[in-house]
Structure 1
Amino acid sequence: MDIFLEPFFQRAIIGGILIGLAAPLMGTFLVLRRLSMIGDTLAHVSIAGIALGFLINVYPLAIGLLFALLASFAIELLRKTYKTYAELSIAIIMSGGIALATLLFTLGRDFSTNVNSYFFGSIYTLDNTDIAVVGVVCALVIAVIAAHFKEFFLIFFDEEAAGVSGLPVRAYNIVITMLTALVICVAIKIVGALLVSSLLTIPVACSLVVGRSFRHSVVMAIVFSETAVILGLVSAGVWDLAPGATVVLALITMLIVILTVKFSLRRSG
């Protein structure tokens, strides 16, 4: 149990709790927008930015963040261009992100090992700068969501009605997409690009089963997310497992249990 006294593990817990709060907040609104797969898209674009950061010797997470923000603008633009096929914007940006990341890998083979850690997560390597970045992003997400909760709910529940009522729909869409990009970029180092969308969607999937209202679903999504983060990290620390994988598997286990209980109650009722 000495691992719980180690500074690197304490930073991992702090970083995990912070992203476990911000990710389901954003994920709830993404599910409402039918954009659950945007996490994978922005994650792959961020990896391209991180690879460029290593190539030019600039803080990789900062370049990844810039790439994710640019990709979020591109997705919103393409969503307006292909209104009937909104999911096409995600496919286009994901393809471009993967292609660019692959190209940058070939230009800097000497840093491939460092970049690969972002694919699978490296929460134990979080430093004070990483914690500060995650903290700022988390605070920003909470502040914006708290200040505009009703507006976001109306826009993503019925965008046309929100526009008729006079809300600046385009501005709100851009804001929520940018916040998503921020959360995904900082979450990559915690759970990895290949698993980052799970923190956005699986807690929401759990909460939708037990939630009695939209607000209650948001709260429950955060509860499920934080529970999985803590259980996953503690399990990984005690049994020397991959922390990102244990967090995601904890989420999936909770979802299976919730669905099983609901199915059993429905049959018995």
Structure 2
Amino acid sequence: MLKQRVLTAIPLAALVLAVVWLLPGIWLQGLFAVAALIAAWEWAGLSGLEGVVERLVYLVVLGGLLIGLSTIDAAASQAWLIPGLLWWLAIAVWVLAQARRGECYRLPSWLAALAGLITLALAWLGIVAIHSLPVSGPFWVTVLMVLVWGADIGAYFAGRRFGKHKLAAAISPGKTWEGVMGGLALGLLVAVVLQLAAAPQLPGLPGLGWLLPVAAMVIALSVIGDLAESVLKRQADRKDSGQLLPGHGGMLDRIDALLAAAPVLAAALMRVG
């Protein structure tokens, strides 16, 4: 299983970084929109929209939403950032309430589907906004990816080696507090290395006093994103959202943490509040 995950993750990560650094912004918008649409197909299924026609309609709605959002300057317009943060704050409260009570609430199908449209649109806007930042955009998208990937890898190995205390047993029995701490440590370490390496070429970068708390917040919200998808999978009685990526499951399984992390980092970079 681990070997299959690695064999899938390495070329996928290389492809993502090549898009981020080598292709124009319009290509990044398009390719991440495709990823969002694939994830939307899976989200629709988890929400209870099982029919092909229902799912296609769901994709058309999200596609129209993304086309409409593409007409705004995501980096310059901050109108969506505070609502985006409040959205993930609400999801965090919802997830933590379920973890505390030891049971998963069942969302109505229409509400779960609506939540998917909002979540995927906000994530797409966040990535586009970050990439659009003058000069440093590709660097910050890389930091975003590294934080999510590093936290995932660190949590996997720390959880397997040291995991004893369950994080949210009713939602995701395999996750532990030790795994979260391991993910946080590795994510922060790799982000610091990236920042120190890039500082000579990007002299305007914020210092570690800004990066460390922001990175910790992004990683914390990435865990919430992961748990939120786990709630949907529990509701649908599924282990994975799909079978697109060997060793990982579906597209949504691969980007669930990113969905929460992207709007949070975008807001931090644009000095919201």
- TM-score, normalization by structure 1: 0.34
Select the structure that is richer in helix.
1
- TM-score, normalization by structure 2: 0.34
Larger radius of gyration: 1
